[in-house]
Structure 1
Amino acid sequence: MNPSQHPGPQGPHMIYQAEPNWQHQMRHKRDMITGALHPHIGRTIRVTTIDGHTHEGVLAHVDGHHAYMHIAPHSHPQGPYRPIYTPAQYNQILTLVLFELLVILLLA
């Protein structure tokens, strides 16, 4: 069963359906972002997500759905939400969803 459907007395009830052109547009955007990021693996970047979070670090890997950033020591996300980090959390890989990236800056 599709997770967007719930069985009811008369069968499944659709609660969401994407617009017909959405799939093509999202694939195009995903491929465009992947192509823009892939040549910069190993370089320092700053990304801003659609939710206003900013992260800075070294781009470690890009696949068809995610960008993986190695977060540098003393690097904190900027924006409306600032989680508290402990020293054990530094030097970790941050996984970002490609569709949520709004701005990507090459820093070094």
Structure 2
Amino acid sequence: MTDEPLFSLEMGENRKSSNDNDDDDNRFIDNDTGADPSQSNEMETVQITERTVNPRGEKTSPHDFQLLKVLGKGGYGKVFQVKKLFGTHQGEIFAMKVLKKAT
């Protein structure tokens, strides 16, 4: 296995300077919906139900994945690179965050 990145990141000319005073950073956000009111006509609303979240009814568990390597560690847990072994998206690579149980 090579140490090639999973994807490339471009962090050069297009990055904002921390000194930029962009009006986008200070836009009003509607407290009721968390949405920008100026974009309300472009927003799609989806009812959150078991059917919309899991449309095929497939239940995925940690046992459906093969751990490949640790991508990162933090105060709340670890992030692993995993490969899906069964079901939809079989063979695809994902990142799985595993949180530490509160004691």
Q: Does the TM-score normalized on the shorter chain lie above 0.5?
A: no
* TM-score (ref. length: structure 1): 0.28
Counting strand residues as a fraction of each chain, which structure ranks higher? Answer: 1
**Relative contact order, higher structure (CA 8 A, sep 6+):** 1
Flag the structure with larger Rg: 2
Counting helix residues as a fraction of each chain, which structure ranks higher? Answer: 1
